[in-house]
Amino acid sequence: MPLLPRRFHRLRAVLDRRMADLTVVLEHVEKPHNLSAILRSCDAVGVLEAHVVSLKGRPPTFNSTAQGSQKWVRLRDHPEPGAALRNLREQGFQLYGTHLGRDAVDYRQCDFTGPTAFLLGAEKWGLSEEAAGLVDRQLFIPMRGMVQSLNVSVAAATLLFEALRQRELAGVAPSRGEGLAAERHRQVLFEWAYPEVAAWCREQGRGYPDLSAEGEILEDLPRQLRLRC
Ligand code: SAM
């Protein structure tokens, strides 16, 4: 089915609100319903891409809880937490671990308006010592009940929506595409609008064609490929 202008405008409006500087790193979170719920919250808040450190031989899987959000929030898989966290730090991210220890601070006292990564731990064990040792700050969400921790997807949603709330209040939540670099915006918009053509371009090692204001591809493509657009 051809891409209708209305659909294209919707894709662009959503991308215009995406934030490349807000993310989660999920260390060994592996239950499909948790991963799915977290990606769905990422999509709702406007996270451009998320990170997972998956256990060897157990790639992330999703279920219907995701409602397709895995299509709209790219999940980068890392073999271990160290390199992923160092890379985020080099990009200027403040790394927040979610740890219920004594040195952790109440998340409501933190400023999430700058580049922010929340590191969330496994359902059963929480964060590894290695990962906990690499963060800038540990934070916690205060609880008043009998149970000692929240479900990991609930913790992720609470933190992400607090970050969005702070950014909206500070007037720094993007609305016109300023949350990601212009070239990245162009690429992601193309991938969202034409995933099959984007995959073909990558296979061919060529850049994505330009799009018109209404989302039409401004280049002649092989007939077979055009028929699938
Ligand atoms: N026994 C584990 C522990 O001690 O960390 C519990 C893990 S908890 C079910 C899974 C993850 O959810 C945690 O690693 C953390 O990322 C997040 N989480 C749960 N409750 C939290 C809270 N109150 N504050 C911050 N993060 C929380």
Point out the least confidently predicted range of 35-44, 137-146, 160-169, 217-226. Answer: 217-226
Q: Is the CB of 170 under 6 A from ligand 1?
A: no
* Domain tally, the chain: 2
Q: Which of 125, 140, 170 is the last residue of a domain?
A: 170
CA-proximal residue: ligand 1, atom 7 (nearest): 126
C-beta pairs of 128-133 under 8 Å, 24+ apart in sequence: 128/27, 128/28, 128/81, 130/80, 130/81, 130/82, 131/25, 131/27, 131/53, 131/81, 131/85, 131/97, 132/97, 132/99
Residues 47-78 have pLDDT tens digits of: 999 999 998 888 888 888 888 888 999 999 99
The pLDDT, as a whole number, for residue 220 is: 85
Same domain, 35 and 143: yes
Task: Please indicate whether residue 123, judged by its CB atom, sits closer than 6 Å to ligand 1.
Answer: yes
Query: Closest residue (by CA) to atom 23 of ligand 1?
Result: 141
Ligand 1, residue 120: give the atom nearest the CA. 16
Indicate if the pLDDT at residue 1 is higher than 70.
no
Domain CATH number, residue 134:
3.40.1280.10
Residue nearest to atom 17 of ligand 1 (CA): 152
Its domain, for residue 153, covers 21-170
Does any ligand 1 atom lie closer than 6 A to the CB of residue 149?
A: yes
Q: Indicate if the pLDDT at residue 143 is higher than 70.
A: yes
Q: What is the pTM of this model?
A: 0.94
124 with 63, same domain: the answer is yes
Domain termination residue (choose one: 141, 170, 199): 170
Name the residue with higher pLDDT: 220 or 33: 33
The verdict on the CB of residue 126 being under 6 Å from ligand 1 is yes
